[in-house]
Amino acid sequence: MRRAARAGLAELDAFLGKSAESLASAGDDFVAGRYNSCARSAYYAAFQAAVAALMNENIGPTGNWEHDFVQAQFQGRLVYRRKLYPARYRRALRVAFDARADADYTPRQTTRREAQNLLQIARDIVISVEERLRDGS
């Protein structure tokens, strides 16, 4: 199995589990009308799935999984160069990161529509990564 050979299976599965948990939280927050929390959890769901995708391709940082590193490597290497994921994901992590930063650090409120879009982005990325890893690609 490719992912076992390329990355520690336990670590990769841990990030997949975190992404599923974050996605579930984002969905719950959306239903409850907590759109700022939805934005935060949606970003982390996508981020954690991207980490798992990078681990599967044996791409990792020298230290921690920093946001800039994950965004750049996911969109640059996995989406743009290797075309392992759809082109629509090229800016998805950056868009979600910016929305999360607004939700956390500014007085501006995330709208229902923005939260819904972020939730869909996160759901798409998480599902794509899970499918790719499940299929052993």
pTM for this predicted structure: 0.92
Per-residue pLDDT reduced to its tens digit, 52-80? 999 999 999 999 999 999 999 999 999 99
Q: Residue ranges of the alpha helices (H) in 2-136?
A: 2-6, 9-31, 35-56, 67-73, 92-105, 112-134
Domain boundaries, given as residue ranges, for the chain = 2-134
Question: Tokens in use for 25?
Answer: 């939280």
Helix H or strand E encompassing 45: helix 35-56
For residue 114, give the nearest of 102, 99, 125 by alpha carbon.
99
Band of pLDDT at residue 7, cut at 50, 70 and 90: low
The fold of 2-134 is Four Helix Bundle (Hemerythrin (Met), subunit A) (1.20.120)
Give the CA count within 13 Å in the CB-facing half-sphere of 110.
Answer: 31
